[in-house]
Structure 1
Amino acid sequence: MRDAVPWCPGCEWNLDAYDPARRQREFGWSWIDRWTYRMAFRATRRQFAQLVGRPLGTDGSGAARTLTAAASVLLVAGVFALAVVGGWLIVAFPFPNLAVVPGVALVGLAIALRPRFGRLDPELEVLTRDQAPELFGLIEEVATAVGAPLPDVVGVDGAINAYAGTVGLRRRKVLCLGLPLWGSLTASEQVALLGHELGHFVNGDPRRGLLTQPAFTMLGSAADLFRPVRTTVGGGLVEMLGDALGRAFQWVMSRMLFVAYLLLISVALRDSQRAEYLADELAARVAGSTAATDLLDAFVGAESIALAVRRETQAGHGPDRWRSALAAARATGADRLPLLRQLSIRDEASLFAAHPPTGLRRQMLAGRPWQDPSVVLSEARMERIDAELGKEYDRFRRTVSWSG
């Protein structure tokens, strides 16, 4: 934190300062990045103030959800119209004819802009119930406690992360547990993690809805497709002039589409952030408020997880030692934790952030009625789950050893 722009921990003066040394560029121009950061910080704070202490609901914010769904329907309809018109131009006139050229172009454009509903990550190591019966049993208990459907696919990967999503037109539900994160958490925090991720299947997150998901990808794809590319090198004056006019048209279209995408995504992601707050509340419902807030503190200290896991893994140790090392790191850094929570509010504010800052998520959860756990994972059962994932942990250890 020594490299961060100073702020007052008591009154949070200057916490909203733009800190270019700690932020990745989002637009490439510092004045735009500074302006959009200010917008994002204010919007994030305003939403927190509107939601704190109030029911979060499962149906989302009506205006944002309606706008996102309407935009998705219009985008899909527009792409469908391109395909229909292009197909008609190809078959409506006797071949050969010049109408085939724009017809093929329109069909190609429709294919390039088609809605994409995701696919299973090829890096995901899919588990079966026979491989991990204890883990699947725990997932069922947590899903029942939060009122969520069971995932169709359960898998693990090597990321310090976890996610739940839906893929394909059949909307297959996928739950992925990153081994470094899962193996570093305590038993109660593992239950909280499952509660949060499975909560995404019932929290009304627009990123996962069939009707709303196209809004998150199609305009961005269109803006990227129209990005100017020089196609003529040398040539005569006519060719150079045509190329310049074409690139000018592409530049205007690309910027217009990107601005439209930015406006839409900034509205839609506010609803997505509300859904994250609700997923945290569902995690507290199943694992208890203490475990849910401790889990968020683990996210704040993600660097400690990375260091502890890599050090212990290279020494040949498994998840039991990961947890011990992380507990020691947490105890050492306990005094810095309140500052890290505050700093996360500055660092994680963004117009493109699907998650609210971790510090605000913890404040939101801590301000709600305290809850006791409804699902308890014993140490013995956690050890059995570790044993079930033994091959996956071994594979991860080999990968870390090779990369080290």
Structure 2
Amino acid sequence: MNVSRDDEDRCPRCDRPTVSLREALPWCAACEWNLDAFDPAVRQPEFGWSWVDRRTYRLARGLTGKQYATLVDRELDAAGFGPAGWVTAVASLLLTVGVLALGGTGVWLLFAYPFPNLAILLGVIMIGLAVALRPRFGRVDPDLEVLDRDRAPELHALVAEVAEAIGAPVPHVIGVDDTFNAYATSVGLRRRRVLALGLPLWGSLDGPSRVALLGHELGHFVNGDVRRILVVQPALTMLGNAADLMRPSAGTSGGGLVAMIGEAVGRSVSWTVSRVLFGAHLVLVATALRDSQRAEYLADEMAARSGGTDAATRVLDVTLHGESVLRTVRRVARDGGGPQRWRAEVDVSLASAADRLALLRQLSLREETSLFASHPPAGLRHRMLTARARHAPRVVVTEARVERIDGELKRHYDRTVRDIVLGG
């Protein structure tokens, strides 16, 4: 990734040369002039209208900056709902009551009038709608390879140690997959806790960084993240499902002028209702994600407490530099190298990219700010960690233990290597 510096294009605020990455609009790395500019060339359209995307971006910038300023000097401990979470919970309650009332009315219509009666048909339709609009509680990803304690005792023990260090519950399910990612979620009506570790990411991290990654993911079980709480699921799913149901289907041909007019009117009404429902869905999701971004800062704090501040910031840099890291892993995998060589090569890659990483963190403030982002920009998360009191690691992992854990996962690493090589 080339860094562009223009000595002739200087910052009007501090007279330093501006910089740019990936053909982005230039900004000043010293005082961050123009870093808040809306850059349509590097942003995916959210609404499709430039003037709307520009205004929602400005709104998101304001909300994101205000949230950071509020939290940076505050003690970050496990917490319940914030204001956005309570709004989401109340909306979920109202939506659930509405769907239950819809289904209950449908059942009543089945028996309220003697058979046959059109009310029965209406009752069946209402019951069908209630079933279609029910909240979804998720399930374990079928691509996740679940690891029981007998197959991976060292990994399970490490997860338990990190959970104890930050006061988090132990996951019910621990698994691995082929992605350059890791996540913690809750699924099903009983909200079973699931921890998923993507082996390309996990294998690229050293011992302290693995502890920090576990601390971050397990921290989601105690940081009030609304996406993992049962009572708010209706707000995140119901209106979106309703909008999909009301979306007009493809038109039919023939039927005469009257039929065509009737169909056109019906499609117009259906489209309007669908858009209104989808708009309400976006408002609720954007509200919920305010609390989700707050929860990410708390999860980062858990990462720093468990693995140390240096390890927590390193995890952020590895994920921010993810494309280059994944290319490194793919190259080493083609040469037959395993996770020990991945880590060594990733160390070299990060060291050589130190200057670019600093600029990438800044650029993330522009590229990753959105009303619909579940995470704050990586640059702000890095600043939050470095601006606060530094943490020494609570859980220390030796290289020998890292090797034992990797040995437990050898079969899964081998499959991942094959996928990486074939997919590259």
**Alignment TM-score, normalising by the size of structure 2:** 0.92
**Does 1:189 pair with 2:209?**
yes
Contact (CA 8 Å) 1:60, 1:271: kept in 2 or not?
Answer: no
When residues 272 and 210 of structure 1 are mapped into structure 2, their CA distance, relative to the original with a 3 A threshold, is: same
What is aligned with 1:154? 174
Match of 1:257?
A: 277
Q: Quick one: which amino acid aligns to residue 193 of structure 2?
A: K
Q: Report the RMSD for the aligned CA atoms in angstroms.
A: 1.3
Bigger mean CA offset, 128-137 vs 24-33: 24-33
Q: Secondary structure of 2:48's partner?
A: coil
- How far the C-alpha of 1:368 sits from its partner, in A, is 0.9
- Choose which of 351, 360, 384 in structure 2 pairs with 1:331: 351
The separation in 1 between residues aligned to 2:274 and 2:395, in whole angstroms, is 50
How far off is 1:61 after superposition? 5.0
- SS across alignment from 1:377: coil
Which residue identity lines up with residue 32 of structure 1 in the other structure? V
Task: Name the structure 2 match of 1:316.
Answer: 336
Which position in structure 2 is the counterpart of 1:46?
Answer: 66
- Say which is worse superposed, 222-231 or 207-216, in terms of deviation: 222-231
Q: Distance in 1 between matches of 2:357 and 2:406?
A: 29
d(CA) in 1 for partners of 2:239 and 2:77? Answer: 29
1:94 is the counterpart of 2:114 = yes
Task: Using the TM superposition, give the Cα deviation of residue 147 of structure 1 relative to its aligned residue in structure 2, in angstroms.
Answer: 0.4
CA distance, structure 2, for counterparts of residue 231 and residue 369 of structure 1: 62
Task: Tell which deviates more after alignment, 159-168 or 224-233.
Answer: 224-233
2: CA distance between counterparts of 1:83 and 1:304?
A: 52
Structure 1 residue 60: Cα displacement:
4.1
Contact 1:56 1:274 in 2 (8 A): no
CA change 1:136–1:361 in 2 (3 A) is: same
Structure 1 gap segments, 5+ residues each? none
How much has 1:65 moved relative to structure 2? 2.0
Q: From 252, 261, 269, give the equivalent of 2:289.
A: 269
Amino acid at match of 1:394: D
* Letter paired with 2:232: T
Query: Aligned residue for 2:4?
Result: none
Deviation string, structure 1 residues 279-321 (Cα, Å, up to 9, x no partner): 0001111111111111111121111221111111122211111
Quick check: 2:306–2:393 contact (8 Å CA) kept in 1? Answer: yes
Distance 1:151 1:59 in 2: 19
How many residues align? The count is 404
Which residue identity is paired with 2:269? F
> Percent identity between the aligned chains?
61
Query: 2:81 touches 2:226 (CA, 8 Å); kept in 1?
Result: no
Supply the distance in 2 between the matched residues of 1:152 and 1:63 (Cα, whole angstroms).
29
* Contact 1:125–1:156 (Cα < 8 Å) also in 2: yes
Q: Distance in 2 between matches of 1:257 and 1:318?
A: 49
**Structure 2 stretches of 5 or more lacking a match?**
1-20
Q: What is the DSSP-based 3-state SS (H/G/I as helix, E as strand, rest coil) of the residue aligned with 2:174?
A: strand
Picking from 244, 255, 259, the partner of 1:239 is 259
Q: Given the two structures, how large is their TM-score scaled by the length of structure 1?
A: 0.97
Q: Deviations over 1:179-212 (max 9, x none)?
A: 0000001110000000000000100101111111
Instruction: Map 1:57-136 to 2 at 5 A.
Output: 57-60=77-80, 62-136=82-156
Q: Which amino acid aligns with 1:268?
A: A
1:251 positional shift: 1.7
Q: Does 1:357 align with 2:357?
A: no
Alignment of 1:359-398 (within 5 A): 359-398=379-418
CA-CA distance at 1:172 after TM superposition: 0.5
